[in-house]
Amino acid sequence: MSFQLVDEAVATVEKGRPRNEFREVGRSGLMHTSGYIQEEFLTSLQGTKAIRAYKEMRDNDPVIGAVMMALLNLVRQAEWRVEPFEEGQQYEADAKFVEECIEDLDRPWSEFISEAMSMAVFGWSFFETVFKIRDGKPLTREDGSRFNDNKVGWKKFGIRSQDSLEKWDFDDNGRLISIVQRPAPDYRERIIPLSRGVLFRTSIWKDNPEGRSILRNAYRPWFFKKRMEEIEGIGVERDLNGIPVAYVPPSILRSTATDDEKATLAAVETMVKNVRNDSQAGLVLPALYDDRGHQLFKFELLTTLGRRNFDTNAIINRMNRIVATSMLADFVLIGQENVGSFAMASAKTKVFSVAIGSYMDAIADQFNRVLIPRLFALNGKTDHKLPRLTHGDIETIELGELAQYINALSGAGLDLTGEQIRTHLAATAGLPDDIEVKPEPAPFAMGGGGGFETGPQGKKSKDGDTKPNRSDAT
């Protein structure tokens, strides 16, 4: 908007006319009808079907399960801290207050983070914010608190599970205003305003409240792998046991067969379908022959010779790689096929860590933009000079690489003897922060005839005499 348009808009407001110049005209383009999101083109991944599919992928697939376990363990070990808005006693007190509220939750912070990271599986996670008065009641009570300053603090962030979602509620402008759920065990409809909760998402494209699951691109290879494993299991069973074949009299296969003949055929078909090679295996067949001496009923197993045209193991392994790659986590497969190196694994884990760090940033952003301002507003503070929630690295620095980096900096003449640098390096290595750095020994000299000096003042020559340095020569 140009300065002329701004001036005209201000003039319009001053005259008491509507602020049409400041009204939002466009929409995000999110496709939804009656609160149901319709962005997904696969019907099997729409609404509650998507929740069931992603739960099956997470709980049944070993590769996806390993990736999710790695993700949760990395997130749980990360350090979270509250930083003051700036230096000052009041700002530091505000940061301390937020830390106390986190400590005063009815469940450990790490458990909340684990539940929040369920947005990686389903694309989103929603929590209802519950407050309490910090009046020092015993912790055995539901609203107990470790503090007694009578301020409003956080009691809990209650997960509202993805499988309890009924629909989303939007206003006339397409803005999300509440979530409608039908949770177990009573399955009654509950409407939770967005102002009473917080929504975490992996993606905000089109402002879609359902985000985008990290398993979305893995769905197709996972689907084919699942079917291939089922076919492989059936094939193995058939190859080991053989394909059951039963020979019956032609008369019972005709359309004019009697009821008894039809019942006999149904019994033989059931026998063929249910036969298994186990300790109870066995068949009892009638010893019937026709006029020519041919046996009327016969059963046998047909086995295949040689190998199949397709290696199902290679196909399944390929699908595993595609599934892991789609989640930037193919490092979990390194070494299983005698390929890959430590350097490659380290590079891949760093990429995975960066991706996880972005999800943790999303959590911190919602605290800094929504939860922390709402907490201070309930306590009578409405300015913007508020503390911020941040997180540390989720991957441990390799100490060998860090030592090489420090040596390079020292060789370049950078002073690394500061207290903050020493404390940070000690914490990185897991050492106490009160380590004392001993000063380097002063240059020593050995006097006497024929002696030598090892300082900046002299340099020993070939014949043992001490000569001045070139810089000292006159």
Mean pLDDT, range 52-66, rounded to an integer? 95
Cα angle 201, 205, 211 (rounded to 5 degrees) comes to: 30
Indicate the pLDDT class of residue 455, thresholds 50, 70 and 90: very low
- The confidence score (pLDDT) of residue 306 equals 54
CA nearest to 390, candidates 72, 76, 82, 75: 82
**pTM of the full structure:** 0.71
- Whether residue 301 is predicted with pLDDT greater than 60 in this model: the reply is yes
List, for residues 402-444, the tens digit of each pLDDT value.
677 777 777 777 777 777 777 767 766 666 666 665 555 555 5
Whole-angstrom CA distances from 147 to 86, 103, 156, 256, 416 are 25, 10, 15, 88, 41
% of the chain with per-residue pLDDT over 90: 44
Report the 10 Å Cβ neighbour count for 150.
Answer: 11
CB 458 within 8 A of CB 471: no
% of the chain with per-residue pLDDT over 70: 74
Q: Which of 136-145, 239-248, 314-323 has the lowest mean pLDDT?
A: 239-248
Mean pLDDT, range 59-80, rounded to an integer? 91
Burial of 76 (0-12, 13-18, 19+ CB in 10 A): middle
Looking at per-residue pLDDT, the higher value among 27 and 160 belongs to: 160
CA nearest to 261, candidates 249, 270, 272: 249
- The confidence score (pLDDT) of residue 4 equals 54
CA nearest to 114, candidates 70, 155, 76: 76
The most confident of 10-14, 205-209, 440-444, by mean pLDDT: 205-209
- The confidence score (pLDDT) of residue 404 equals 76
CA nearest to 356, candidates 108, 68, 48: 68
- Whether residue 399 is predicted with pLDDT greater than 70 in this model: the reply is no
- Whether residue 470 is predicted with pLDDT greater than 50 in this model: the reply is no
- Whether residue 453 is predicted with pLDDT greater than 50 in this model: the reply is no
- The confidence score (pLDDT) of residue 286 equals 66
List, for residues 371-390, the tens digit of each pLDDT value.
999 999 999 998 889 999 99
List, for residues 95-141, the tens digit of each pLDDT value.
999 999 999 999 999 999 999 999 999 999 999 999 999 998 888 88
- The confidence score (pLDDT) of residue 285 equals 63
* H-state helical runs in 153-258: 219-241
Residue by residue, DSSP assigns 307-333 as --SS-HHHHHHHHHHHHHHHTT-GGGG
- The confidence score (pLDDT) of residue 148 equals 92
- The confidence score (pLDDT) of residue 308 equals 60
State the Rg of the chain over Cα. 36
Residues 5, 7, 8, 9, CA torsion sign: positive
Backbone angles phi, psi at 111, to 5 degrees: -70, -40
- The confidence score (pLDDT) of residue 213 equals 95
- Whether residue 272 is predicted with pLDDT greater than 80 in this model: the reply is no
- Whether residue 448 is predicted with pLDDT greater than 70 in this model: the reply is no
- Whether residue 82 is predicted with pLDDT greater than 90 in this model: the reply is yes
Q: Which of 160-169, 209-218, 408-417, 420-429 has the lowest mean pLDDT?
A: 420-429
List, for residues 146-156, the tens digit of each pLDDT value.
999 999 999 99
Q: How far apart are CA 112 and CA 457, in angstroms?
A: 65
Looking at per-residue pLDDT, the higher value among 200 and 172 belongs to: 200
Q: What is the mean pLDDT of the chain?
A: 81
Strand-strand pairing, 124-133 and 197-201: antiparallel
Indicate the pLDDT class of residue 8, thresholds 50, 70 and 90: low
Indicate the pLDDT class of residue 474, thresholds 50, 70 and 90: very low
- Whether residue 463 is predicted with pLDDT greater than 60 in this model: the reply is no
CA nearest to 163, candidates 182, 188, 135: 182
Q: How far apart are CA 469 and CA 179, in angstroms?
A: 80
- 342's tokens: 């430590």
Residue by residue, DSSP assigns 351-380 as HHHHHHHHHHHHHHHHIIIIIHHHHHHHTT
Mean pLDDT, range 54-62, rounded to an integer? 95
Instruction: Identify the H or E element spanning 159.
Output: strand 152-160
Peptide bond into 250 cis (omega under 30): no
- 141's tokens: 């009570």
